[in-house]
Amino acid sequence: MAIKIVFLIIFFFVMIMIGVATRKKANSVEGFVLGGRSAGPWLTAFGYGTSYFSAVVFVGYAGQFGYKYGISATWAGIGNAVIGSLLAWLILGRRTRVMTKHLDSQTMPDFFGKRYDSNVLKIAAALISFVFLIPYTASVYNGLSRLFKMAFDIPYEVCVIVMAALTCIYVILGGYMATVVNDFVQGIVMLFGITAVIVAVIRANGGFMESLTTLSQYPSDLPVSEGMQGAFTSFFGPDPLNLLGVVVLTSLGTWGLPQMVGKFYAIKDERSIKAGTVISTIFAIIVAGGCYFLGGFGRLYSENPAIHTENGSVAYDAIVPTMLSGLPDILIGIVIVLVLSASMSTLSSLVLTSSSSVTLDLVAQARPNMTEKSKVRLMRLLLIFFIVLSVVLALNPPTFIAQLMGYSWGALAGSFLAPLLYGLYWKRTTKAAVWACFISGVTITVTNMIFHYIASPINAGAITMLIGLVIVPVVSLLSPKPDKEKVEKIFSGYKEKVTIEKQYSLEEDERAANG
């Protein structure tokens, strides 16, 4: 217990000191929200990765999908690395940075408003962000608190409140720069922590080969592959189609999440984008791949009563904490700091995104004469409000972590992914198409929450995103073309004129003189 407490005290001290050290950069709106657009590749890449992977992935997704699909759940981690990190940086990174700087856009709703010339569209995007980011924050608390209960036997409510208070302190002090510097420190902890935990869990089950052999003896209990032998150690697992839904939602979904795309707004320069692409991808391979690979051995604990509810069903969110409960104290201390790191970085990104969006895209619209100081002060107050609101929801979470996050990601990415992607590349994208995508994303998510016509919220989220990618080009082609002059001005940021000196060789000069 002493070791665990020492680890936590050091961790909390470092987090708050970083907030104090970066507070000078948080005095202006751009400094508080984007760190002055000066974050280098390491800070941005680690910030992207740690905002991506939290207790939701480590506890919720790894536990649930590892138990359902076995070792094949690792495909979700591979998808997160290739689609969610590598392709996201290659396709969105540079264009997002250039166009948002050109439009002087500081949030995703602000980008939609300026790109499609509509303040109403900006307000709608801000409201969608506000409503659907809150359930995501609740899922982050839930996963972390289960680990704290296992390690310290501390009540869930205490864990939620302490984590919220500490996150609130360092984000209010230092804004975006406090968040990304903390993300860098937290990312290093995650890289070493996940590696140590995988090795320890496999060793505790007799080594890699013995663990695989034991896992292969569990028959599949899913209707699509019931009785299949070796299902949980096979290449595609017992249910490839539903696994594909997980890969699509958790990988492609990041392309439309405000707190993820916002990292591209703040990156410093072209070289930082190229380096950040490589760093972010390697980080995702180790952390996401490691989490899902670890979860794939969850069936080895199926006889443990700790992972079952009173009615005998599987408590997915308890699987990973149960896997870790038998590890040495020093490793449990590392795990606590690992998941705390991941969760606090995600939470800080979420509440910073929510507060900046409401301040700049809603309140500032109604009060256009607000000063810089007033905006920063309001953002800090809203940070506190959003954290309190997410705590209230987290104290009575409605469902499993994975389902909670599925609804949130489905609505956000289903609404925003297609308008962002097409808006960066295609001049023909229209305002009507963006409205259609917003309506589609929210309507499918909300109606499915009520009527459950798509059984899995994960698959529902993936389908919502794919529908958006079809709706935007179809409606754009059917609706009137946008104003050509305005669109050309928006895209002119990609065509900056550069003056260079032309040099002639001596041979050319001599030929000209003799000519």
**pLDDT, tens digit, 9 for 90 and up, residues 358-393:** 888 888 777 878 888 888 888 888 888 888 887 777
Name, in order, each residue with C-beta under 8 angstroms of 102's C-beta and a sequence gap of 6 or more: 490, 492, 493
Which H helix or E strand runs over 432? Answer: helix 431-451
pTM: 0.84
Structural domain includes residue 507: no
Distance from the Cα of residue 412 to its chain's centroid: 11
Q: Helix, strand, coil proportions of the chain in percent (round to 5)? A: 80, 0, 20
Closest Cα partner for 168 from 397, 25, 379, 337? 379
Structural domain includes residue 24: no
pLDDT at residue 481 in the model: 93
Tokens found for residue 13? 């001290």
Binned at pLDDT 50, 70 and 90, residue 41 comes out as: confident
Structural domain includes residue 38: no
Give the sign of the dihedral formed by CA 147, CA 149, CA 155, CA 158. Answer: negative
Average pLDDT over residues 251-264: 89
* 474 vs 476: CA distance, rounded Å: 5
Structural domain includes residue 464: yes
Average pLDDT over residues 411-428: 94
Structural domain boundaries enclosing 116: 2-19+43-496
Helix axes 94-102, 258-266, angle to 10 degrees: 80
Helix (H, G, I), strand (E, B) or coil at 39: strand
* DSSP letter (8 states) at residue 314: B
* 246 vs 397: CA distance, rounded Å: 21
Structural domain includes residue 251: yes
Structural domain includes residue 484: yes
Structural domain includes residue 505: no
- Percentage of the chain surpassing pLDDT 70? 88
Structural domain includes residue 31: no
Average pLDDT over residues 38-57: 80
DSSP 111-142: HHHHHTT-HHHHHHHHHHHHHHHHHHHHHHHH
Q: What number of other Cβ atoms are within 10 A of residue 382's Cβ?
A: 21
From first CA to last CA, the distance across the chain in angstroms is 89
pLDDT at residue 404 in the model: 65
- Domain tally for the chain? 1
Tokens found for residue 100? 């948002």
Give the lowest-confidence range in 268-277, 403-412, 496-505: 496-505
Binned at pLDDT 50, 70 and 90, residue 407 comes out as: confident
DSSP 101-114: HHTT--SHHHHHHH
pLDDT at residue 506 in the model: 47
Closest Cα partner for 197 from 3, 1, 328? 328
* 414 vs 404: CA distance, rounded Å: 15
CATH code for the domain in which residue 51 is found: 1.20.1730.10
Tokens found for residue 6? 């020492």
